[in-house]
A and B are shown apart, each in its own frame.
Chain A
Amino acid sequence: MSPRFPIGARVSVTRAFPPGHVRTPFFVRGKTGIVTDIVGDFPNPEELAYGRDGLPARTLFRVTFLQCDLWPDYEGSAEDTTVVDIYEHWLQDAETLSQTAETGAREHV
């Protein structure tokens, strides 16, 4: 099965704030970055945490964010980055961001 996003894809992290065990850090939700690595498929940790089997497995991506996109007041180099491991179900093609983010914000905030 080919991964949902190729290396180099611009992806946005879903802007959602569910309760429970979540492996996508708060500070990247709603942010846009670039897929720089595809780690492989793993049972979904957000399901494993509740005693279930975590299947179907989800692809784990490494997404690179520019620090100045994460923190408006970032002090440092404009080239500085943070790379975060993010599961496919938290990612969307960046082009569809604006619609989904608005819907997500209405539903969850």
Chain B
Amino acid sequence: MSDMQDNGHHHDHDHAHGHRHPFQPDLEDGDYSYYQVMTEAVIELLVGKKVITAEELRSTIEVIDSKSPVFGARLIARAWVDPAFKARMLEDVISAAGELGIDAGAIPIRAVENTTAVHNVIVCTLCSCYPRSLIGLPPDWYKARAYRSRVVREPRAVLKEFGTQIPVDVEVRVHDSTADLRYMVLPARPSGTGDLDEEALADLVTRDCMIGTALPKSA
């Protein structure tokens, strides 16, 4: 690490000559925050020290932007039409995703299957663990105090706030992800969807279906 400490200084003033930066805060949106300034300063220092490059930063943001619930939905639609695939997915989500050409990252992911007897819902009570590689960035509420505090203690009440009522004879199973494992819910295929193709089935699967706060809408 010492080589990183030594080569930063002569880069410090590269940006003082008025050339345009790739990033400007949305100045018309009012004041920028202390932490936005910190973010920009840290990035410029890391680039100046050659710890990271601007190109790596740009391409990493592209990767972040490319992740969306579409990937998880494709996996689920395939599982609905292909029982053998579903079995492989329940065994190993990352390799099943690979079969569809989807990069699900390196952190292990468990698919938890909704059945007539069990409804699954996921949370991270300690921070915000989330299957980002298959669903994208988590929504604000998933990371916020109310959901994280309450869903382990009164899951049925929380689900009801999302408009999801689970019959009392169905077990509600909450999965609290704490560090090295991620979860995604594999919802049950809705009735009345027998004549839909895989693509149309995928359209029924929303992000919240894969968190477990919603159920796929019937076609």
Contact = CB atoms under 8 A, between A and B. Distances in A.
B174 A81 contact: yes
A60 interface: yes
B171 interface: yes
A79 interface: yes
Contacts of B154: 75-76
A39 B108 contact: yes
Interface string B169-195: 111111111111100000000000000
A85 B178 contact: yes
Given A60-B180, A80-B171, A27 B125 contact: yes
What DSSP secondary structure best describes chain B's contact surface? loop
A86 B108 contact: no
Interface string B144-159: 0000000011111100
Given A71-B153, A80-B155, A86 B178 contact: yes
Interface string A71-94: 100111101111111110000000
B155 A76 contact: yes
Nearest to B174: A82
A40 interface: yes
Given A77-B169, A80-B155, A81-B173, A24 B181 contact: no
A52 interface: no
A23 B178 contact: yes
A14 B90 CA distance: 30
Given A79-B171, A80-B171, A83-B174, A60 B125 contact: no
Interface of B: 108, 110, 125-126, 152-157, 168-181
Interface of A: 23-25, 27, 37, 39-40, 42, 45, 60, 62, 64, 67, 70-71, 74-77, 79-87
Given A40-B108, A60-B181, A76-B156, 20 more contacts: A23-B178, A23-B179, A25-B176, A42-B179, A45-B180, A60-B180, A75-B157, A76-B155, A76-B172, A77-B171, A77-B172, A80-B156, A80-B173, A81-B174, A82-B174, A83-B174, A83-B176, A84-B176, A84-B178, A85-B179
